[in-house]
Structure formats: structure tokens, C-alpha cells
């Protein structure tokens, strides 16, 4: 009851399932007197924000739990994939206590250890109960009775408790573990450690024994068989987290043991360490009893419940925020400038809060929206609130280092107001990494030309942009941005709420299909899904719907190519002028492809920006560039060695043409490259090649 009172003191309202305490001799009345409220199981599941369970819930039970509730318990995750998938689909948080890490902070929450401790005790008691002799040495009038010999295989938490219990009952105890580091612990309990040289073994960083090779397991079986032969009780505890238990004792070993001996298989629920063991049965072979009991800790339910409730209690106290109306907002610069009356829009403007008071670096607000439900990692927008963001934060710089370490091809910059963040980021990244600039406020629109010139790609983040400039302004801004990006040969991504309805439904609306098609007709290189694929119920269907719309729209554009030609600004750049000279050729129906040799990707961007009728094939020796240009409109990217000269360039081109099934003999192909090869930004050659000549 102490754990219950602790949670009540935290401010939690606790419901309990009627008669839940019968197995531990606690009545409903005692729970009520402690401050809990009695309800049916169904009522608890329907209304609970945090649901505690000692075993996995059924599908029917999950279906009545409200979204965004949290289940905390032992759910056997490795054998319950369906449960995990259903929780994800129903938007239910699931915390598997089996996954609590073995670290100092989490030690008090470790259910596996607390339950294994009790299980080790029960294994010895049950084994002793089934043994035909006593455990301790006894001096009787009839003479001395020898102590029983107990052999424990596996010296984890359960094994150590089994050793300690058997020793307290007076048995002679031997123990073995693949980890030599536990020998000292075995000896400290008064038992003898059996040494079997298995070669390299050891343990994981979580303290679990590493899985043995087949050769090591066979060697272990052979040598420990001799110890089993001289033992009255053998207790096996070897389990591998998330995998079937290893078979340690086979029938050959059992047949060598004395009749009346007992083998207790603590791993029977995960496949068993002993050949022939069955859950909740006593199997006899040649007079040897093989015992397997599931949920061992439940045999001492009072202590098991107390230990588990303490684990639950410690987890809740560690994560519980007594002020559940408080939200952490780690931007003191913004909090300093907020004043009473300021509006705060959360989650792309779905929820509106108004500041009603301020104290230090905290503000109090009231939600003006209906069904206000806050979730982590959602966008925030404050209308008519100007604050400069001209420098990368320390976290930004750390994230960029991580991106470089991971070999990312792109980084995206949010909340740009001008080109300054782009220029700063450019100094920190590799030359073959690209920068995507998210346009989501009116300050960025004022400086858009400088931003486009400085960046590699632009993302029109329509959610935040709509909040800042108004929803009705977004369509014309989208068209204007796409045109400007095209003029400067910069790719553009249109994002946010393209198939919003498919987060919950498996079909899109006609308006959403038109939205995708409009972006493509306007000249977008890329259309993007976000929540639809990240948290939506139908991610595969959303991707399929978008792909079909893209293919249909692009087919129409090719059939009416004259209506969709782009104008590009060369700014008297001779390299651009050379590439733009192929523009008229690229719209000729006899030209089937444009092959672009591009070390830096710049030539590929220029050709893509023309929106030619011919397909674009880019060849780059730099794998990062090849991946980067895949984001461009109409580009099929190939990572290949660089050409060593004119003849080699033609040789590489011909090899690729053979693999491109849409190019036939006598078709024309435009080839662009820079001489000498190997230098970026040197495109100075255009060749019209007739296939087969």
C-alpha cells in the first residue's frame, strides 16, 4: 500500500480493477481505504491515461483504450509483434518494462531483476519439495545424513538467488557460468565455481552473457554433464534476451543422472535449457524429474506484487510531472520577449494559446481551441513577433557534425530569415553536401533572392508559412517561389499537408490530388509527404497515391511540352550559356536523352531546370553528388568513374546508352561535359550524338 500512497501524494487519481488484489489477499475495501477508486476492468481500460499491467493485453482490450494513453508493464515484446503494431496503429504509447536498461538510474525500475530474484528462490523450494531426500546434512540417532548436492547453471540474478537459497537450506552448491567474472560472486556465497574452458566468452554492456557458438555449447554440455551426474538437483537459468534459450542438458546427460534426481528448467517459457521440459508439467525420464513452471515469481505472489509495484512506482516517479499543465519550452530568448496578449500557435496552427501572465522565464497561457491536446516535437509560431535568427545555435552545429559523420547528402535549415545561416552552415559542411532552405516566414520572403542564390534547394514549408502570411496568400507565393528557383536553376520542394486526410483515411480527396498536380504543373522538382508517412495509418497508400498523381501529371506535361518551358537567367555566365544552348535541341522529339557528365552537380541542376522533353542522365564519379542530384526533376543519376578523355567519355556514354532501353538505334543523344575532365564547373562541350554511328 505504500507505493499506492506515494502515487496519490504525487497528485494522481488511481483506479483499480475490482478484485485485482485477491491473489495477494488484499480486499477491495483496503484499496478504497487507501484512496483508490474501484471500477470494472473495462472502465479502467477506457478511461486510464496510464495503464499498469503485469501481462500483455488482448486486441479487444487495446481497441477500447483511448488514443495517446500509455501502457506500462511486462508485455513480452519479442513474442508480441502484433501487439506492438496494433498499439502504433491505435496511437497508444507502449512501455515494455523488460527493456529497462541496466544503468544506475534505472536499477530501481528493473523488473527482470526483481522478478528473477524471486524466481531463483522458488526454483530451489520447488526442487526441494520434489526431491526424495532433505537438503541439509543431519546428525541423527541412525547416523549422519549427507547434504544434497545442487548444481546451478547460469549465475545471473536468478542463479545467485538460487545459490544463496540452497546454501541457506544446507545444500552443497556448485555453479557454472560462461562469464568468468562471476566466480568471485559464487565463492562469496559459499558455493564452488565450476571452471570449464570455453575460450572467448564474456558479457554484454548490459551484463547479460553473450551467445555461445555451437562448438562452445557442445563443449559446455560435455563437461557439465559430469557435474550433473553427481548432483541431486540441477537448476538451469540460461536465457538470451529476445532469443530462444540454449539447450544445455540433453537426454544423454539425463540418462546418466541418479533416479530421484531433480532438474528444474527456469527457461522453460523461452524454449527451455533441458531436452523434454514442458511448461507447468513434471516430466519423468529414467526416474529423473524435469520440472518447468511458468511465471515462477507468481508462486510467491505477495512479494512479487510488492517488488513489481515498487518498480512501477519508481518508473512513474522518475517521469511524472506533478504540474501536468506545464510544457517545457527551451528557448529563453523567445520567452523573454513574450508579453501578455501574445498568441502562440502550436502544431501548424491547430491550437491557439493566448499569454495571460508572465513570471521570470515562464508564461501562463489559456487554450482558445477546442479539444486541445498537446504532443511533443510540434511546431510553434507566434504571429507579429519579430526576433532575429542570424546565427546557428550550438545544437545546430552539433547536428551538422553528426550529419557529416553519418555521410548525409543534404542538411535542411529551418526558420531562415535571410542568407546568413546558409553562409555560416556552408563553411561547416563538406563541398559535396547540399543545403535545403525552408521558407516559412515573411522575413525569408523579403530576402528570397539572396536566399535562393546562397542555397542549393528551397523547400516551401506551407504549414508555418500559411500561419505567418495567411492561408490565402500561400498559392501565389508558392507559384512565385517556384518560378524564381527555376530562373536560378535551384531545385524546389513543395511540402506540408499534401495528403493530410490520408493520415486517418486510406484514400485522398480530389482537392489533395489537385494540390499535388498544381505544384507539379507550376514546376516543382519534388513534392513531399511528412505526417502522412511518418505517423499516418496508411503510409504505403499515401506514397502510392502521390506516385500515381506525379506520373499522370508529368505525362501530360511531356505531351504539352511547349506550355511548360522554363526561362533561366544566365547572368552572362559562359558555362550557363553553353548549357542553355542545348535548350532548343532538348525539346526536339528525336532527342531521347541528355547525358550530363557532372563532378559537382551544377550542370545537372542547369539541365534539369530547363525541363527538357528528353530524359536526363547524369554521370558523376562522386557518390554523394550522384545521390544529391537524384532529388532534381527528371534526373536519372549514375555513379561511374570519371572519363579520362574525349574517347573515354564517348565509351562511357555508349555503355550507358546500351543499358537505357528507351534509346534505340538512330536516336539522338546530347552529351555535355567539361574539358579537361576532373575539374568541377568546367562544362564547355556539347555534342549531338546519333546512336549507332
Could you give the residue numbers annotated as active site? 102, 107, 110, 113, 208
Per-residue exposure over 312-330, b if at least 16 CB sit within 10 Å of its own CB, e if not: bbbbbeeeeeeeeeeeeee
Q: From CA 26, how far away is CA 634, in angstroms rounded?
A: 70
Backbone phi, psi, residue 523, to 5°: 115, 15
d(CA 11, CA 6): 9
What letter does residue 508 receive in the DSSP assignment?
Answer: -
Least Cα distance to 605 among 519, 681, 517, 520 occurs for 681
Residue 467: closest CA among 324, 639, 346, 293: 346
The angle at the Cα of 587, spanning 583 to 588, to the nearest 5 degrees, equals 120
Shortest CA distance to 516 belongs to which of 504, 533, 500? 500
Residue partners of 593: CB distance under 8 A and separation at least 6:
614, 615, 616, 617, 657, 660, 662, 663, 667, 669, 670
Cα–Cα distance measured from residue 132 to residue 151, given in angstroms and rounded to the nearest whole number: 17
Q: Is 347 left (phi over 0), alpha (psi -120 to 50) or beta?
A: left
Rounded CA separation 158/449 (Å): 68
Q: How far apart are CA 80 and CA 191, in angstroms?
A: 38
> Which one, of 109, 113, 112, 68, lies nearest residue 317 by Cα?
109
Q: How far apart are CA 494 and CA 301, in angstroms?
A: 59
The answer to whether 166 and 173 have CB atoms below 8 angstroms apart is: yes
- Beta carbons of 311 and 108 less than 8 angstroms apart: yes
The conformational region for residue 103 under phi > 0 = left, psi -120 to 50 = alpha, else beta, is beta
Q: Based on the number of CB atoms within 10 Å of its own CB, is 28 exposed (0-12), middle (13-18) or buried (19 or more)?
A: middle
- Exposure of 238 by Cβ count < 10 A (0-12 exposed, 13-18 middle, 19+ buried)? buried
Pairing of strands 351-359, 362-367: antiparallel
Question: Cβ distance 635 to 601 under 8 Å?
Answer: no
Adjacency order of strands within the sheet including 233-236: 192-193, 172-176, 149-153, 233-236, 262-265, 288-292, 281-285
- Give the separation between CA 387 and CA 293, rounded to whole angstroms: 65
- Read off the C-alpha cell for 610: 530547363
Name the grid cell of 673. Answer: 561535359
DSSP string, 658-673: HH-TT--TT-EEEEEE
Amino acid at each position: 500500500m505504500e507505493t499506492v500512497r506515494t502515487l496519490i501524494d504525487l497528485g494522481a487519481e488511481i483506479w483499480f480493477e475490482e478484485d485485482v488484489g485477491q491473489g495477494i489477499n488484499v480486499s477491495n475495501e483496503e484499496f478504497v481505504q487507501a484512496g483508490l477508486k474501484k471500477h470494472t476492468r473495462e472502465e479502467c481500460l477506457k478511461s486510464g491515461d496510464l495503464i499498469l499491467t503485469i501481462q500483455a493485453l488482448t486486441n479487444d482490450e487495446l481497441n477500447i483504450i483511448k488514443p495517446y494513453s500509455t501502457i506500462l508493464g511486462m508485455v513480452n515484446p519479442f513474442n508480441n509483434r502484433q501487439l506492438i503494431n496494433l498499439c502504433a496503429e491505435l496511437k497508444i504509447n507502449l512501455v515494455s518494462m523488460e527493456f529497462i536498461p541496466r544503468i544506475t538510474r534505472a536499477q530501481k525500475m528493473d523488473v527482470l531483476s526483481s522478478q528473477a530474484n524471486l524466481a531463483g528462490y522458488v526454483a530451489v523450494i520447488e526442487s526441494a519439495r520434489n526431491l526424495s531426500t532433505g537438503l541439509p546434512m543431519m546428525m541423527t540417532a541412525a547416523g549422519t545424513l549427507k547434504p544434497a548436492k545442487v548444481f546451478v547453471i547460469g549465475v545471473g540474478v536468478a542463479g545467485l538467488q538460487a545459490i544463496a537459497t540452497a546454501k541457506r537450506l544446507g545444500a552443497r552448491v556448485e555453479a557454472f557460468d560462461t562469464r568468468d567474472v562471476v566466480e568471485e560472486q559464487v565463492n562469496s556465497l559459499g558455493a564452488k565455481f565450476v571452471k570449464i574452458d570455453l575460450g572467448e566468452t564474456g558479457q554484454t554492456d548490459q551484463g547479460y552473457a553473450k551467445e555461445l557458438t555451437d562448438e562452445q555449447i557442445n563443449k559446455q554440455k560435455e563437461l557439465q554433464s559430469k557435474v550433473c551426474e553427481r548432483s541431486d538437483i540441477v537448476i538451469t537459468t540460461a536465457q538470451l534476451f529476445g532469443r530462444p534459450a540454449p539447450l544445455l542438458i540433453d537426454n544423454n546427460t539425463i540418462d546418466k543422472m541418479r533416479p530421484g534426481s531433480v532438474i528444474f528448467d527456469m527457461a522453460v517459457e523461452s524454449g527451455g535449457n533441458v531436452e523434454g521440459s514442458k511448461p507447468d508439467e513434471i516430466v519423468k525420464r529414467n526416474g529423473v524429474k524435469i520440472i518447468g513452471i511458468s511465471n515462477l515469481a507468481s508462486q510467491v505472489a505477495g512479494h512479487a506484487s510488492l517488488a513489481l509495484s515498487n518498480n512501477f512506482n519508481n518508473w512513474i516517479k522518475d517521469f511524472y510531472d506533478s504540474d501536468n499543465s506545464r510544457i517545457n519550452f527551451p528557448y529563453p530568448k523567445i520567452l523573454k520577449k513574450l508579453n501578455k496578449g501574445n498568441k502562440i500557435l502550436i502544431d501548424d496552427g491547430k491550437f491557439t494559446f493566448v499569454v495571460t501572465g508572465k513570471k521570470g522565464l515562464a508564461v501562463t497561457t489559456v487554450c482558445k481551441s477546442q479539444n486541445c491536446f498537446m504532443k511533443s516535437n510540434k511546431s510553434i509560431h507566434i504571429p507579429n513577433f519579430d526576433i532575429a535568427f542570424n546565427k546557428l545555435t550550438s545544437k545546430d552545429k552539433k547536428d551538422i557534425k553528426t550529419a557529416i559523420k553519418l555521410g548525409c547528402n543534404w542538411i535542411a535549415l529551418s526558420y531562415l530569415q535571410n542568407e546568413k545561416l546558409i553562409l555560416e552552415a556552408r563553411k561547416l559542411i563538406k563541398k559535396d553536401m547540399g543545403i535545403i532552405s525552408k521558407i516559412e516566414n515573411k522575413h525569408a520572403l523579403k530576402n528570397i533572392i539572396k536566399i535562393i542564390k546562397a542555397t542549393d534547394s528551397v523547400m516551401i514549408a506551407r504549414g508555418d508559412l500559411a500561419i505567418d502570411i495567411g492561408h490565402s496568400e500561400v498559392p501565389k507565393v508558392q507559384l512565385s517561389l517556384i518560378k524564381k528557383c527555376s530562373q536560378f536553376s535551384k531545385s524546389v520542394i513543395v511540402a506540408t499537408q499534401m495528403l493530410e486526410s490520408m493520415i486517418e483515411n486510406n484514400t485522398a480527396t480530389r482537392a489533395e490530388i489537385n494540390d499535388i498536380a498544381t505544384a507539379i504543373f507550376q514546376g516543382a522538382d519534388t513534392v513531399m509527404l511528412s505526417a502522412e508517412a511518418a505517423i499516418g495509418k496508411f503510409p504505403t497508400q499515401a506514397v502510392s497515391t502521390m506516385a500515381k498523381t506525379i506520373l499522370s501529371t508529368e505525362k501530360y506535361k511531356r505531351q504539352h511540352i511547349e506550355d511548360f518551358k522554363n526561362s533561366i537567367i544566365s547572368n552572362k555566365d559562359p558555362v550557363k550559356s553553353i548549357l542553355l544552348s542545348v535548350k532548343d535541341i532538348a525539346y526536339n522529339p528525336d532527342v531521347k536523352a541528355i547525358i550530363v557528365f557532372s563532378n559537382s552537380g551544377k550542370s545537372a541542376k542547369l539541365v534539369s531546370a530547363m525541363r527538357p522533353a528528353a530524359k536526363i542522365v547524369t554521370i558523376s564519379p562522386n557518390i554523394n553528388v550522384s545521390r544529391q542530384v537524384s532529388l532534381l526533376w527528371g534526373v536519372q543519376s549514375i555513379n561511374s568513374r570519371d572519363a579520362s578523355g574525349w574517347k573515354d567519355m564517348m565509351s562511357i556514354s555508349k555503355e550507358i546508352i546500351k543499358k537505357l532501353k528507351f534509346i534505340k538505334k538512330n536516336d539522338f543523344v546530347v552529351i555535355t561535359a567539361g574539358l579537361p575532365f576532373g575539374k568541377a564547373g568546367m562544362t564547355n562541350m556539347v555534342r549531338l550524338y546519333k546512336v549507332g554511328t
